[in-house]
Chain A
Amino acid sequence: MASGQEDKMMSPSVWHPRDATEAWTFKKLLDADAIYVAGGTLLRTQWEAGIATMPKHLIDLSSIPGLKGIVKEEHSITIGALTPLGDCRKDPHVIRHYPMLADAIRSIAASSVRNLATVGGNIASRVGDSLPVFIVSQAEFEWNTGLSPMTEDASQWAERLQEQLPKASHLLTRVHLPIIEETELVPKRFGAFHKVGRREAFTQSLVTVAISGGIKADGKLAEIRIAAGGGQTIPHRLPAAEKLLKGQIPNRELLGEVHQAVMNGYRPKSDPFATDEYRKKAAANLIVMELWKACGEPSGAGREQDGVK
């Protein structure tokens, strides 16, 4: 027995919908008095810390059938929103086609938490550390909106979140990750995720970055997606940096410009544990490092010049 703030919580009613539409109906009826709960791991910490109050009703999603598990299709992987993070991390399809998603999930909380916490919850929290990976992977989020299922590109969804809160009744059901094969035109693909926290494991992020791209036979970048998040920052893409890179062969000078573009474009949310300047520099450094690794040594062009700004 440890007495503390958590004891002040009054017991809420818990609803167990049988399918996603019933869950949506409960939410519509109970409105602001209710909240969807899957693993509940993040909510629990918020209630305990007093930064959110426990509502009168909890809509327990865990009993909804068909939303758990990972299925590989011909050109995509579908992840049920109720799939525990721990399962997703160890899934052979995820490891093979999206190792950076496995990396991202490995960096989230600790294994006991990952066994409860779900992929859907990590996304719906809007600040989950897996989100940058979905954003750069052209993932599609499938939502139950009560009427018909709706899908939306992860990066568009995250972009809308910068402006407005998502509709509270919308229920994430599945995530579709396209499997993008290497082709003759784009023979090399790369992707990476990094998280910087305040220690090596079991830490909130200060900075997260994800990058995904393809390189043509001539060394030019066919396409590139970059996203950054971390802490309470809702992850977002870095379009200026992407634009600089697209169709180019990165050299040292260009990487310098990309570094600057990330510093300018990344909008971290402050907290007492790291400065914005630190976060920006970390994000820019990590992104440029990954580009440097993906494209091999930068071409001779700028090598003799001084270091990038």
Chain B
Amino acid sequence: MALNKTTSGGRWRIRPDGPEKVTGKLAYLTDMSRDGMLVGRVLRSPHPHAGIVSIHTEKAKRIPGVHAVITHADIPGMNRFGIVNPDQPVLCEDRVRYIGDAVAAVAAETPEIAAQALESIEVEYVVLPVVDDPVKAQTKQAPKLHPGGNVLHRNQYGYGEVTSGFAGCTHIVEETYLTPRQMHTYMETEGGLFIPEEGGRLTVYSPTQHGYKDRMQLARILGLPEFNIRVVSSPIGGSFGGKDELNVQPYGALLALVTGRPVKIHNSRWESVRAGLKRHPMRIAMKTGVDDSGRILAHQVSIVADTGAYATLGAEVLNFAIEHVTGPYRYDSVEVEGVSVYTNNGVSGEFRGFGGNQAIFALEGQMDRLAEKLGQDPWEFRLMNMRKPEDPGPLGQTIVRTDGAMQVWKSLAGSSMWLDRQDRITDNPWLRKGTGAAFVMHGSGLGFGIPDPAGGMLALAEDGKIEAIFGYEEFGQGLIATLELMLIEQFGFGTEDIRIVIGDTDLVPHSGSSTASRATSMMWKSLQKLRGPFLDRMLDEASKLLSLPTESLRVGTGGIWNRSGEHLLLTYGQLAQGVQEEIRFQTHFPFPASPTKRIGAHYLYTYSAVAVEVEVNVLTGRVKVLKQYHAVAAGPVMNPQGFLGQIEGGSGMAVGFALSEDSVMDSGVYLTRNLDTYMIPTYTDLNGEIEVHAIEDLPEDDEHGPRGVGEIGSVGVAPAIAAAVYHATGKRISKLPIDPESLQEVPDFLVKAVSRP
């Protein structure tokens, strides 16, 4: 079904947090302030790689209005952070490994004093050779950035014999694909307010995608029990993975505890660019061969990921890329190896799509090139090699069976955009039109072997509100709107009856992270589990209060109604006042994982097929995306507007990934230091039509319900653009963002113009 306002009917609702966001009324966590609060700032390394000889803070401390200057010596707990692999110093001791590395932090009465204090801290550095190339970083000559060397993680996967596979191939395509260091570019830069409370507690108001994980990491750094820390993590002005890891929280927390006063930190865009995570640039070499019928006999892949100075989730991103670099296809033999390498190039980390974007760009490039060698239609070629529903997952693991691959394939094949792709007339001879397509298989959840808890709580509060309490965060994805709609549709509550409680470790249960396209799935599953007991109990209690049999009652808007829905018998407020014991139910369960024991292997997959029409101006080499078609098989749509928003929003990020975004670095220093040179797409770049088809059918016995769509919209667009550019110009793209110079032509258009029909 084409998903839009018309087809959604009454399900197309104004999101509850919408009006406050568009009018600017909503206070984000970084908008908060407190009387008497201090301003926190971080002193960051000016060098991509250097040894620290000495740090002197005396001068800075003497400045009136400076309340604290801290260094590594002031950290009571562990001076390291990192979600999985804590290898990043909170404050560097003897070495800095990227230009954002933190060396000291100050708390002062005003931003001006804080800035002056930063300038007064004396740090003596010995500049060290910069490791700025992940391939060179693996050589013996390269300086070692970490005690274990420069390899963060190496992994591989394979089956069959690629060597003999290639020997039998009629056509082999070999290509190396390069992807950019994309920035998350959330509107709200990192920041927060940190408040020391009575009894030694600390409240942290700071955006993150997993409040409990921040609490654990902060407790480790501060040397405090976890329950002494309250993390409030919502609402967030965008994250896309970029705020999953700690950023300013350790400094704010330390400064608040040292000074005993509230401390606010809020990164400028400059500091955000310098210190923040980026998407892993990857160099993916592929060799893929087919027999003369087009069957893929061998697929060999080598991935080098530039993970930058510290780990964060670099290993997990590489694992994801290795898993997804085979896509929704069958092969006789596969050999994939990958390495994630430390360099002095900032820090790479988790980013929407999580390594899948890079992998699918390369893989789909191979599919198009192979189809051409065979003289086959690229989409038919994909069908011939497509996985079957009963096939195991990409790592040989058992996965949940769906028909998603075929469903999205067919949807695209029958779309008018694809059928009309040879209609390429343009207004001018220097404009060339083309259409390309890509096929995506994307896993959700964290994968086998990684703790992936889920759950939630429902309660009837004293004031009669029905509280849905989850440990997730709202960062613009529409989680609140989706949860509200689920409660209305699945429980029969009215909008006014509901209160949503999220993003506060003092109030919410462990629901796991709001990452990896998992939150919607897990809310749905939680509500499935809670629905029966919660409604039964409400009706039981109502039955007692009303002295009516439960069979004659039902739950509805405003309260308990008679069965036929004519009379409101008891409001939720009355029910809440009348019950003896609080009505509260909680559920805990892990995100479903494959029974196959391979670390990181996914169990739930979604599929998408993307077609893109572009226009290339060969005078300038500039590419404009005219139209997009997305078929997405992710189970039932929980919230049409949210679903559409995720696909369109993901696609917008992918247009940037394909056409304009790259954090350009020179010897470990960013050349794109602000949004005047780092180019995210604007409205004008994204004003083409986007048609989204949601395929909601699942096999009858499926028990997993809606799959998340937070990432999948961002995966297939870049390879589809690359294919469309080839269709338009006959030039293959292997490096992103596309360099317009590679598409520029000398204007022989004067001749062509005459001969064109």
Contacts and interface: CB of A to CB of B under 8 A. Distances in A.
A1 B679 contact: no
Interface in B710-757: 740-741, 744-751, 753-754
Interface of A: 1-8, 45, 48-49, 196, 198-204, 207, 252, 255, 259, 272-275, 277-278, 281-282, 285-286, 288-289, 292, 297-298, 303, 306-309
A98 B740 CA distance: 30
B622 interface: yes
B624 A200 contact: yes
Interface in B232-266: 264-266
Given A3-B115, A3-B268, A275-B741, 16 more contacts: A2-B191, A4-B270, A49-B676, A199-B681, A201-B684, A202-B684, A203-B679, A252-B750, A272-B671, A278-B621, A285-B747, A289-B430, A292-B750, A297-B753, A307-B751, A309-B746
B583 interface: no
B100 to A, nearest CB: 13
A204 B671 CA distance: 15
Interface stretch (B523-531, B539-547, B659-667): B659-667
A198 B269 contact: no
Given A196-B620, A200-B682, A285-B619, A7 B111 contact: yes
Contacts of A6: 268
B189 A2 contact: yes
B744 A285 contact: yes
Contacts of A286: 619-620
Nearest to B744: A281
B682 A308 contact: no
Given A1-B264, A4-B268, A307 B620 contact: no
A2 B676 contact: no
Interface in B605-645: 618-622, 624
24 contacts: A1-B39, A2-B191, A3-B111, A3-B271, A4-B268, A199-B679, A199-B681, A199-B682, A207-B620, A252-B750, A255-B750, A272-B666, A273-B664, A274-B741, A278-B741, A281-B741, A282-B619, A285-B430, A289-B749, A297-B754, A307-B751, A308-B747, A308-B748, A309-B746
B677 interface: yes
Nearest to B748: A307
A1 B679 CA distance: 24
Contacts of B270: 4-5, 48
A270 to B, nearest CB: 13
A308 B267 contact: no
Contacts of A45: 676
Nearest to B737: A198
A198 B660 contact: yes
Contacts of B622: 196
A5 B674 CA distance: 12
A298 B750 contact: yes
Contact of B746 (A2, A207, A275, A281): A281
B266 A49 contact: no
Contact of A199 (B111, B659, B674, B745): B659
A6 to B, nearest CB: 7
A203 B675 CA distance: 10
Nearest to A288: B747
Interface in B546-584: none
Interface of B: 33, 39, 41, 111-112, 114-115, 119, 189, 191, 264-271, 430, 618-622, 624, 659-660, 664, 666, 671, 673-674, 676-677, 679, 681-685, 740-741, 744-751, 753-754
Contacts of A274: 740-741
Contacts of B753: 292, 297
A200 B741 CA distance: 16
A4 B269 contact: yes
A3 B267 CA distance: 6
Contacts of A5: 268, 270
A203 B267 CA distance: 24
Contact of A1 (B111, B671, B676): B111
B674 A49 contact: yes
Contacts of A298: 750
B747 A201 contact: no
A217 to B, nearest CB: 24
Contacts of B112: 7
Contacts of B191: 2
Nearest to A196: B620
Contacts of A3: 39, 41, 111, 114-115, 265-268, 271
Contacts of A277: 741
B192 to A, nearest CB: 12
A48 B677 CA distance: 14
A273 B267 contact: no
B688 to A, nearest CB: 11
Contacts of B676: 45, 49, 204
A103 to B, nearest CB: 14
B142 to A, nearest CB: 24
B747 A259 contact: yes
B685 A200 contact: yes
Contact of B679 (A198, A281, A288): A198
A2 B270 CA distance: 10
A259 B744 CA distance: 14
A250 to B, nearest CB: 10
Contacts of A204: 676-677
Contacts of B751: 252, 303, 306-307
B485 to A, nearest CB: 35
Which of A3, A252, A281, A309 is most buried by chain B, counting CB atoms within 10 A of its CB?
A3
Nearest to B660: A199
A4 B685 contact: no
Nearest to B745: A285
Contacts of A309: 746
Contacts of B666: 272
Contacts of A255: 747, 750
A5 B114 CA distance: 11
Contacts of A307: 746-748, 750-751
B663 to A, nearest CB: 12
B754 A289 contact: no
Contacts of B119: 8
A166 B660 CA distance: 35
B620 A4 contact: no
A272 to B, nearest CB: 5
B271 A4 contact: yes
Contacts of A288: 747
Contacts of B664: 272-273
A4 B190 CA distance: 12
Contact of A8 (B39, B115, B659, B684): B115
Nearest to A282: B620
A303 B754 contact: yes
The 10 closest A-B CB pairs, nearest first, are A4-B268, A307-B748, A285-B619, A201-B684, A200-B684, A278-B741, A7-B111, A2-B268, A200-B685, A3-B111
Contacts of B744: 278, 281-282, 285
A5 B748 CA distance: 49
A13 to B, nearest CB: 17
B111 A201 contact: no
B207 to A, nearest CB: 14
A202 B682 contact: yes
Contacts of A199: 659-660, 679, 681-682, 684-685
A292 B39 CA distance: 61
A290 to B, nearest CB: 10
Contacts of B430: 285, 289
A275 B749 CA distance: 23
A203 B676 CA distance: 7
A4 B685 CA distance: 29
A122 B114 CA distance: 35
A41 to B, nearest CB: 12
A2 B685 contact: no
A49 B673 contact: yes
Which of B112, B114, B191 is most buried by chain A, counting CB atoms within 10 A of its CB?
B112
A202 B686 CA distance: 13
A47 to B, nearest CB: 12
